[in-house]
Chains A and B, each alone.
Chain A
Amino acid sequence: MISGLERRAPRGILFGLGCLFTAAAMAAPAWTLDSLLGELATVRTAQARFTETRTLSLLDRPLASSGTLHYQAPARLEKRTERPKAERLLLDGDTVTVERGDPPRQRSFRLDDAPELRALIEGLRATLAGDRTTLERHYRVVLLGDRKQWLLSLDPIDARVRRFVRAIRIDGAGTAVTGVAVDQANGDRSVMDIAPATR
Chain B
Amino acid sequence: MNDDSRAAPARLPIIGGWLIFLLVAVLSAWRAPFSTDLSAFLPRTPTAAQAVLVDQLRDGAVSRLILIGIHGGGPEALAAASRALATALAQDPRFTHVGNGEQIRLEADQRTVFAHRYALSPGVVAERFSTEGLRAALHESMDLLDSPAGFGVAGLVAADPTGETLRVGEALTPKRTPARVEGVWGSAAGDRVVLLAQTRAAGFDIDGQAAAIDAIRTAFEPLRGGTDLAVELTGPGVFAVDTRDTIRGDATRFSMLATGAIAILLLSLLRSPRLALLGLVPVATGAAAGLAAVALVFGEVHGITVGFGATLIGEAVDYGLYLLLRADGEGGPRRAFRMLWPTLRLGMLTSVFGYAALLLSDFPGLSQLGLFSIAGLVTALLTTRFVLPALLPTVVTLRGVEALARHAGRLVARARRLRIVPWLALAAGTGTLIVIGLRHDLPWNDELAALSPIPAADLRRDERLRDLLGAPDVRHVVVVRGASREAVLRGAESAAVVLDAATQSGALDHYDSPARLLPSERLQAERRAALPDEPTLRHRLAEAARGLPFRPNVFEPFIAAVQSARQASPLDTATWSGTTLALQLDSLLAPRDGGWQALLPLSGLHDADAVAHDIAALGDPDVLMLDIKAESDRLYAGYRREALGAAAWGVAAVLLLLIVVLRTPRRVLRVCVPLAAAVICTIAGLLLAGQALTLFHLIGLLLSVAVGSNYTLFFDRTLAADPAADRTALSLLAANGSTVLGFGLLGLSHVPVLSAIGTTVAVGAALSLLFAAALSRAR
Chain A residues proximal to chain B, CB less than 8 Å: 54, 56-61, 63, 65, 79, 81, 84-85, 87, 89, 93-94, 98, 100, 107, 109-110, 112-117, 120, 164, 184, 186, 188, 190
Contacts and interface: CB of A to CB of B under 8 A. Distances in A.
A87 B147 contact: yes
Instruction: Report, nearest first, the 7 A-B pairs whose CB atoms are least far apart.
Output: A112-B180, A98-B149, A59-B549, A89-B148, A61-B549, A60-B551, A58-B554
A182 to B, nearest CB: 8
B143 interface: yes
B152 A109 contact: no
A178 B179 CA distance: 33
A186 B158 CA distance: 13
Given A59-B145, A65-B146, A112-B183, A186 B177 contact: no
Taking residues whose C-beta sits less than 8 angstroms from the other chain, chain B's interface range is: 20 to 34
A110 B180 CA distance: 9
B157 interface: yes
Contact of B179 (A56, A110, A117, A120): A110
Interface in B642-663: none
A110 B177 contact: yes
Interface in B531-558: 549-551, 554
B177 A115 contact: no
Given A56-B154, A94-B188, A63 B145 contact: yes
B542 to A, nearest CB: 15
A187 B101 CA distance: 31
A58 B143 contact: no
Nearest to A114: B152
Contacts of B103: 115
Given A60-B551, A85-B146, A188 B154 contact: yes
A89 to B, nearest CB: 5
Interface in B140-160: 143, 145-149, 151-152, 154-155, 157-158
A87 B549 contact: no
30 contacts: A56-B154, A58-B145, A58-B158, A58-B551, A58-B554, A59-B549, A59-B551, A60-B549, A60-B551, A84-B146, A85-B146, A87-B147, A89-B148, A89-B149, A94-B179, A94-B188, A107-B149, A109-B177, A110-B179, A112-B177, A112-B179, A112-B183, A116-B152, A117-B151, A120-B151, A164-B152, A184-B154, A186-B154, A186-B155, A190-B151
Given A63-B146, A81-B148, A120-B151, 19 more contacts: A54-B145, A56-B154, A57-B154, A58-B154, A58-B157, A58-B554, A60-B549, A63-B145, A65-B146, A79-B148, A85-B146, A87-B147, A87-B148, A94-B179, A98-B147, A100-B149, A109-B177, A110-B179, A115-B183
Contacts of B157: 58
Nearest to A116: B152
Count chain A CB atoms within 10 A of each CB in B101, B149, B177, B179 and give the residue with the most. Answer: B149
A58 B147 contact: no
A75 to B, nearest CB: 12
B550 A58 contact: yes
Contacts of B154: 56-58, 184, 186, 188
B776 to A, nearest CB: 76
Nearest to B161: A58
A79 B101 CA distance: 29
B58 to A, nearest CB: 34
Contacts of B549: 59-61
B175 to A, nearest CB: 9
A117 B149 CA distance: 10
Contacts of B147: 81, 85, 87, 98, 100
Contacts of B158: 58
A85 B143 contact: yes
Contacts of B149: 87, 89, 98, 100, 107
Contacts of B101: 112
Nearest to B104: A160
A50 B407 CA distance: 102
Count chain A CB atoms within 10 A of each CB in B147, B148, B183, B550 and give the residue with the most. Answer: B148
B668 to A, nearest CB: 74
A164 B157 CA distance: 15
A191 to B, nearest CB: 14
Contacts of A107: 149
A105 to B, nearest CB: 11
Nearest to B146: A63
Interface string B620-655: 000000000000000000000000000000000000
Count chain A CB atoms within 10 A of each CB in B151, B155, B188, B554 and give the residue with the most. Answer: B151
Contacts of A84: 146
Contacts of A81: 147-148
Interface in B504-541: none
Nearest to B184: A112
Contacts of B188: 93-94
Nearest to B554: A58
A85 B155 CA distance: 22
Given A58-B551, A110-B179, A117 B145 contact: no
A49 to B, nearest CB: 16
Contacts of B146: 63, 65, 84-85
A93 B180 CA distance: 12
A117 B179 CA distance: 16
A159 to B, nearest CB: 13
Contacts of A87: 147-149
B30 to A, nearest CB: 53
A60 B148 contact: no
Contacts of B145: 54, 56, 58-59, 63
B631 to A, nearest CB: 34
Contacts of A93: 188
Nearest to B157: A58
B187 to A, nearest CB: 11
A112 B179 CA distance: 7
Contacts of B177: 109-110, 112-113
A54 to B, nearest CB: 8
Nearest to A59: B549
A90 B244 CA distance: 50
Interface string B179-216: 11001000010000000000000000000000000000
A54 B152 CA distance: 12
A87 B143 CA distance: 11
A108 B175 CA distance: 9
A59 B550 contact: yes
Nearest to B180: A112
A115 B183 CA distance: 8
A87 B155 CA distance: 22
